[in-house]
Copies of this chain bind each other. A is one copy, B any other.
Amino acid sequence: MVKPFDKMEVEITTEEKILIAARKVFIEKGWDGARMQEIADNAGINKALLHYYFRNKEQLFKRVFAGIVSKLIPNLNTIIQSEQPIFEKIQAFIDAYLDFLLANQELPLFVANELSRNANLIVGAFEENGLKPMIGKMVMEIFQAIENKQIRPINPAHLLMNIVSMCVFPFMGRSIFQKVLMQVPEEMYQELLKQRKKEIYEMVYHSIVL
């Protein structure tokens, strides 16, 4: 049966409502801090219905977690796979990474946290999506760029570590940065974050260019 036009696109299934609520609560509170009741409240339903859709907390969590992981990696892999000169590729990588981070600021801390408490979470997430980050290709290209005298000799693993660190840490360690080290108000910190794309690329560029 066809639904009336004004009800068609707007509708969100209960399952979606639950996943949205669960995502929010899990990210905010972590596995240990998240409460099924709070998820139900956030989804506007009651606990029994929650268990009707997802048998238990673990199943719901895994579903949320897999959903999160599957969002970032394909994005980065396309860039890594692409054919462009090393400096352009690095810049594209930083750009894409920061776009994602700016739109999902609380994600890195959540992922690091859950991953460190449950190592095989990532295995499950990978298996479910069939995606893995292709870091090997990047390492190769850095080696080539060194041979071609495009950049100074540098250990590619550390260069990549440095780039990723500069991208992610201001988000993941936000509480430390903002409250402990810099002690700036929220809006100012957001302003800093927006400048990172440019600042990181310049840092990397100057540190490797010959």
A residues whose Cβ falls under 8 Å from a Cβ of B: 29-30, 32-33, 106, 108-109, 111-113, 115-117, 119, 122, 133, 135, 152, 154-155, 157-162, 164-166, 168-170, 172-177, 179-182, 192, 195-196, 199-200, 202-204, 206-208
Q: How far is the CA of A127 from the CA of B135 in the complex (A)?
A: 44
- Copies of this chain in the oligomer: 2
Contact A115 B169 (CB under 8 A): no
Q: Is the CB of A174 within 8 A of B122?
A: no
Q: How far is the CA of A204 from the CA of B164 in the complex (A)?
A: 15
Set B108, B157, B166, B182: member contacting A166, Cβ < 8 A: B166
Complex A-B, nearest 10 residue pairs according to Cβ-Cβ distance, in ascending order:
A165-B169, A32-B32, A207-B207, A115-B175, A32-B33, A116-B175, A158-B199, A169-B169, A206-B207, A165-B165
7 new A-B contacts, CB < 8 A, other than A29-B32, A115-B175, A158-B195, are A109-B112, A111-B176, A112-B175, A154-B203, A158-B199, A164-B177, A169-B173
Chain B residues with Cβ under 8 A from A181's Cβ?
133, 135, 160, 164
**A181 vs B208: C-alpha distance when bound (angstroms):** 22
A182-B200 contact in complex given A164-B177, A165-B169, A172-B173, C-beta closer than 8 Å: no
Q: Which residues of B contact A112 (CB under 8 A)?
A: 109, 172-176
8 Å CB contact of A173 from B119, B168, B196, B204: B168
Contact of A172 among B157, B172, B203 (CB under 8 A): B172
A174: chain B residues at CB < 8 Å are 112, 116
Shortest CB–CB separation between residue A110 and chain B, in angstroms? 9
The minimal Cβ–Cβ distance linking A97 to chain B, given in whole angstroms, is 12
Known: A32-B32, A207-B207. A173 touches B133 (CB 8 A): no
CB distance from A88 to the nearest CB of B (A): 19
- The answer to whether A115 and B172 have CB atoms under 8 Å apart is no
Whether B175 lies near A119 (C-beta < 8 A) is yes
A205 closest partner in B (C-beta): B207
In contact, A135 and B182 (Cβ under 8 angstroms): yes
